[in-house]
Amino acid sequence: MSELPWLTHKAWATARYGHPVFRVPVDPGWSCPNRDAEGRGGCTFCAEDGGRARQLGEAAGAAQQVHRAVAFARERYAAKHLQLYVQAYTATYADVESLKGLVEPLLDMEPFHSLSLGTRPDCLSNGILELLQDWNRRVEVWVELGVQTTHDATLRRIRRGHDWARSEAAVRRLEACGLRPAAHLIFGLPGESEAEMLESLYRVCQTPVHGLKLHNLHVLRNSPLGGQWLAEPFEVMSDEGYLEFLANALRRIPKHLPLFRVFTDSPPDQRLAPPQTLKKGRFLHLLEKRMRERGWRQGDDV
Ligand code: SF4
């Protein structure tokens, strides 16, 4: 079978570097300004653990997490080239010295190929950017920004605490600093139409992003949205609905942009909606099949 109809990060990295790059997630245990400040209580879709990678388990300190995640990547994927991925909550929600104190010893633990930090567009101070530029001389630095949508009404509804202009400015600023911004979008946020979702995708692709992370909304039990859903269930995009939407949406993404993710598979005991039965591998198989049947590819309708 020939290559997939969309550009996975693995295919992109293999073409660019000659090998795939595997992520080694680490959760510094920091919170985020959207939970701490002004009592906003966080984005409505966000679970209590802020998106912690499951393979981290109960590992305590950052070094132990890295040991565990490296072992996982080597054992499960025979990984050779690794990216240190500081994720969960907001990686740059710390002062410069704390971030430096966390990341630099971790970078010394392994010959990391690159570094990626997950954060919010409003958490990039001048000092943090200078630090990232400093690290960028040592390893390739990526910054994964939670954009979620470009519609300010939705951003207010999900209590995101920033607007689209802030996201757009952050992407351009990171790019101007020689860093590699990537954007995270969620499809199926409450109150958004498919036309609005495609508009978000279009707007983000007009910025100098270097990659995208996409998935559909999952309503999690331990999130504010979960509480709303339990009080009054609302319609959430099904796997099939997302499959059909995504097959079309991928055509609107420039073919050079790698996709870090196009699906999410939350733990069934935490997910309230959609009542998903598809495993990630099955979903990707169906997506590939549908796109092949229709002769569709990423970027063929930009
Ligand atoms: S999604 Fe990110 S910014 Fe929003 S509450 Fe969760 S950790 Fe904070």
Domain positions in the chain are 9-218
Query: Helix, strand, or coil here: 24?
Result: strand
What's the confidence (pLDDT) of residue 52? 56
Query: Considering the domain 9-218 in this protein, what is its CATH number?
Result: 3.20.20.70
What is the DSSP code (8-state) at residue 158? T
Ligand 1 atom nearest residue 120's Cα: 3
What's the confidence (pLDDT) of residue 28? 85
Kindly report the protein residue whose alpha carbon is nearest to atom 2 of ligand 1. 89
* Amino acid at residue number 227: G
What is the DSSP code (8-state) at residue 8? B
Per residue in 138-148, is it b (16+ CB within 10 Å) or e — as a string? ebbbbbbbbbb
Question: CA of 69: how far to CAs of 88, 116, 118, 216, in Å?
Answer: 14, 15, 17, 26
Tens digits of pLDDT across the chain (302 residues): 458 999 999 999 999 999 999 999 998 887 788 886 555 678 999 987 655 555 555 556 899 999 999 999 999 999 999 999 998 667 777 889 999 999 999 999 999 999 999 999 999 999 999 999 999 999 999 999 999 999 999 999 999 999 999 999 999 999 999 999 999 999 999 999 999 999 999 999 999 999 999 999 999 999 999 999 999 999 999 999 999 999 999 999 999 999 999 999 888 899 999 986 789 999 999 999 999 999 999 999 99
Compute φ and ψ for 47, nearest 5 degrees. Answer: -75, 165
CA 216–ligand 1 middle distance (angstroms) = 16
Per residue in 268-286, is it b (16+ CB within 10 Å) or e — as a string? eebbbbbebebeeeebbee
What is the DSSP code (8-state) at residue 19? S
Please indicate whether residue 44, judged by its CB atom, sits closer than 6 Å to ligand 1. no
Pairwise CA distance, residues 197 & 270, whole Å = 25
Mutate to test the pocket of ligand 1, among 40, 90, 159 (most ligand atoms within 8 A of CB): 90
Please indicate whether residue 89, judged by its CB atom, sits closer than 6 Å to ligand 1. yes
* Amino acid at residue number 50: G
CA 135–ligand 1 middle distance (angstroms) = 25
Pairwise CA distance, residues 141 & 17, whole Å = 15
Question: CA of 192: how far to CAs of 156, 167, 235, in Å?
Answer: 12, 18, 11
What's the confidence (pLDDT) of residue 64? 93
Query: Do 121 and 166 meet the contact criterion of CB atoms below 8 Å apart?
Result: yes
Please indicate whether residue 158, judged by its CB atom, sits closer than 6 Å to ligand 1. no
Question: Tokens standing for 293?
Answer: 């049947």
Q: Return the percent helix, strand and coil in the chain, to nearest 5.
A: 40, 15, 40
CA angle 209, 91, 207 (to 5 degrees): 15
Please indicate whether residue 90, judged by its CB atom, sits closer than 6 Å to ligand 1. yes
